Chains A and B, each alone.
Chain A
Amino acid sequence: MSFVTILALGLSLFIAAPTIAHLLRRGRAREQPFPPAALVPEARATTRERRSLEDRGLLLLRALIILGLALLGAGPLVQCSRVALGRTDGASVAIAIVVDDSASMRARLAGEKTRFQRALEAGQDLLASARDGDAVALVLAGKPARLALAAGTDLQAARRALTELSPSDRATDLATALSLARAALTSLPHADKRVVLLSDLAGELPAEPMPNVWAPLPELAAKIENCGVVSAEQNGTRVTARVACSSEAAARARTLQLVGKDAKSEARLVVRGGIQSLNLEAKDAGSVSVELSGKDQNPADDRAEVAPESRSLALAVHADSAREAVATGGAPLLEQALHSLAIGAPVRPLSELPREAGELSGVAALFIDDPSGLTPETRTAIGGWLEGGGVAALFLGERAHDTQLGATLEPFLRGAVDWERLPSGGGADPTTFAWLGVEAQSLVDLAPKGRSRLDTALLPGAEVVGRWSDGKVMDARQERGRGLLFSVGLPVSVETSDLPLRPGFLALLDHMVGEALRRRGPQTSEAGTEWWFPAAGSLQVIGPKGPLTQREADGQRLVAPDVTGRYAVSLGGRNETRFITLPAEEVLATPKGELPATWRSPRAAGAPLVDASPELGWALLALLALEIATRVLRLWRERRSHGAIDPALP
C-alpha cells in the first residue's frame, strides 16, 4: 500500500470532525447576556428536537461523504469482497481459472447461494477485471480434472464458457486440475502467469507447493452440516444404503426413507459422523429411490436411486494348474498376479477353455497361459464373447508351437507360432512399452530362455505394442467388435523367464484389466467415471438430465456421466441400466478454505483488489443530492414553523 493510499485513507479520520462539531452543538446553547430575557418566549423543546433529528441525519450524511471521498482517493487499491485481478506495472496476465465442480461445491452458503455459484461469480468478477491481452484458461477440478477452455485471449469466449458450467457430483481432483492449469499456461508468452483456484479445497493438494496459485474464496470453507446418500442397492426385498455424514450433528434426528409405490420403510441414522450402512425392507424388487428426511446445507445429495445388486465382473484364468502348482505350491502365477492387483473383481480359474459363449457370461477378461491351440468351439465361444466387449489375453509359450490337430490360435493369431530358444538371453525394448509407464524399464533385461515369434502370425489390423530389443514383436493387440485381444510372446512361467516376477508384468495385467472394466462398463460407478463404447453401432445414454453428449477418443466413443442417478444405455440395440453414485469423500472431506502457508507467493496473494471508483463516484453524487434535499427540506420546515408561530402579546 502506497503512501498516497495511506494518506487518502487517513482522510477518513475527518469523519470525526463533523462528529465533534455535532457533539459540541448538541451541548448547551450559546449563552448570551440579555437584559430583556423575560420578554423572550422559551422554545427549548423545539430547539432540541430540531437539533437531534435533523442534525443527526446531516451528520451521518457528511460522515458518509467524507468516507466516500477517502475511499475514492485511495482507489483503486481498496480491498473489497469482489475478486479482481491485480497486475504488476500494468502488464498483461495469463490466468488459469480452476473451477471446482465437485459434489461438495453444491453445499449452500449463507443466503441460499451454493459454493459453486459463488465460485462462478468470482470467476466472472475475475474476467470482468481482465483486459485485452490477458490470457485465460478454464480448468474443472471435478474428478477427472478437465480442460474446459484452452488458454486464449478471447475473454468473451471465457465468459461464455464460464456461464455454461454446471455443478456435478464428481469427486475432487485438485492435484490434476492444478497440473492441467499450469500446463495450459506453459506455452503462453506472458511473464505473469497465475492459477486461480475457485474451490472449497475439500480434496488433496499436491505434496509439493506450486508457485503463483491463489485461492481467493476462503468463505467457501465455512463448516457445514451435511449427510448424503452415497449409494443404494437392492438384493431381493432388502435395500442396503450407504449414508455419509460430515458430523454427529448432521446425523441427528434424521431418517432414511424408501421412496416409491407403497414403500414405507425407514431407518433412523446412527448419530455419528462417517459412513454407515442402513437396511430397508422393500415390498418388492422394484424400489425406486431412498431419501433422507430433514434438511441440511447440501440437499442435492439427500436422495439416491436404488440399483439392483451389482454383479461383479470376473476375471477368468486358464492356466496349467498342475504344472504351475509345482513351481508356486498354490494357484498359478497368473491367478496370483491378478489377485495382487487388488481390484476387487473375482478371479475365476478355468480348468478348460470355454466351448460356449455362455460360459464366459459375467467374465470381463479372459487370460489364457500357454495353450496348445484353441479348438473351433473355443474360438467360436471367445469370438462371440469378444464382440460383446470382452478382453482376452494370450500368453504364448513352448506348447503353442505344438498345436493340436484342428486347433489354431485364432482369433489371436494366424496359424501356428514358432518357439525360438534364446541361449544368449535378451530383453524388451522399453521405448515400445512406454505406455506401461516407469514399470517398462523392468522388462529391459528379461533374459528369457525362449520366445514365441509373433511376427509372422499377426492378423491384419493387429497393432504391435511392444517389441524385443532386436525389433521382433513381443506384444500385439487387436480390436475385435467391442472387445480387445492381447498376444504376448512369453508364457507366465518362471521356468521360461522371470517375467511374472517383474513390475512390468503387473503393469501389463493392470492395463488389460483396466481395458476390460472400461469396455464392459460397471453397473454402478461414481460420478465422473468415463464409459467407453466402440465406435461402431448406435449409442444413446440417457441420464437424469437427458441424453448425454458423446465424444470420440482413441477410436472409441466416450461418455462421462457426472450426476448421480439412473442411466439408460442403449448400444447397438442392446439396453442396460447403469447407476452413478456419490463419492463419499465429497461429504466427509473438510474444506480447507485457504492454501497452506508454503503455497502462498507474493505475486499471487494480495491481489483481491478492485477499482470501485465508478461506484463510489455515483454513491458520492447520491449522497450530495441527499444533502441538498435535506437542506431544502430543513429550510422549508423552518419557514413553515415561523409562519405557524402565534405572535401572542404579553
Chain B
Amino acid sequence: MFGQTVWLVLRKDFTIEVRSLEIAYTTLFFAISCVLVFAFALVQEGRAPEGGAAGILWIAIAFAGTLALGRTFERERQAETLRALLLAPAARPAVYVGKLLGIVVLLLAAELVLVPLVALLFQAPLFAHPVWLASILLTGTIGFAAVGTLFAAMLVRARSRDVLLPVLLYPITVPVIIAGVRATGALLQPEVDAGVLQVWLALLVCFDVVFVTLALWTFEPLMTD
C-alpha cells in the first residue's frame, strides 16, 4: 500500500514533467550557468584554482536543487492539486517519499551533466573513482532533498515562499554541503585516503537517516491545517 502510493505520486510527477520538461530544462540550464559564473569568478590567467572543483560542484547542486524544489511545488499550488493530494485516502508519509524520490531523480539527472562539465572546465579528475563519487553524490543529494522537500511542501501555503525556501534550507543543510565538499575534495587528491572518505560518507548516511525519519515523522502534523 505504502509502496504503491509512493509509486503513484512519483509516476504522476514524471508524467507531468515529461510533457513539458520545464523543470528539468530550467534546472539544468541554471546549474550550468552557476558553474560558468564560478569559472569566470575563479579562473585566473587560464588556470583553475587548486581544489576548487569540489566546492563548485556542490554549490551548483545546492543552487539548482533549490530552484527545482521551488518549482515542483509551485506547480502543485497553481493547479490547486496539493489539497487533492493530501485529501486522497493515502498515507501522508508516502506522499512525501514520492515527492522526495522525484526530486532526487531530477537532481541526479542534473548531476550527470554537471560532473563532466566541472571535470572538464576545472581539470578535476572526478572520474578516477566513479563508485565513490556516485555514493557521495547519492547520499548528499538525498540529504539535501529530504530537508528541501519537506520545507518546500510546508512553504506552499506561506507568503513570500520563493525567498523563504533558501533562507530556511541553507542553514539546515550546511552539514551536507560540508561533508559533500570534503568527501569530493578527498577524492580529488592524488592519494585518496579511504579512511577520510568513509568518515564523511558515514556522516552523510547518518544525516540522511535522521532527517528522512524526522521528515516522515513531522510531515503529517506540518501538512495539517
A binds B: no
Chain A contacts to B: CB under 8 angstroms: none
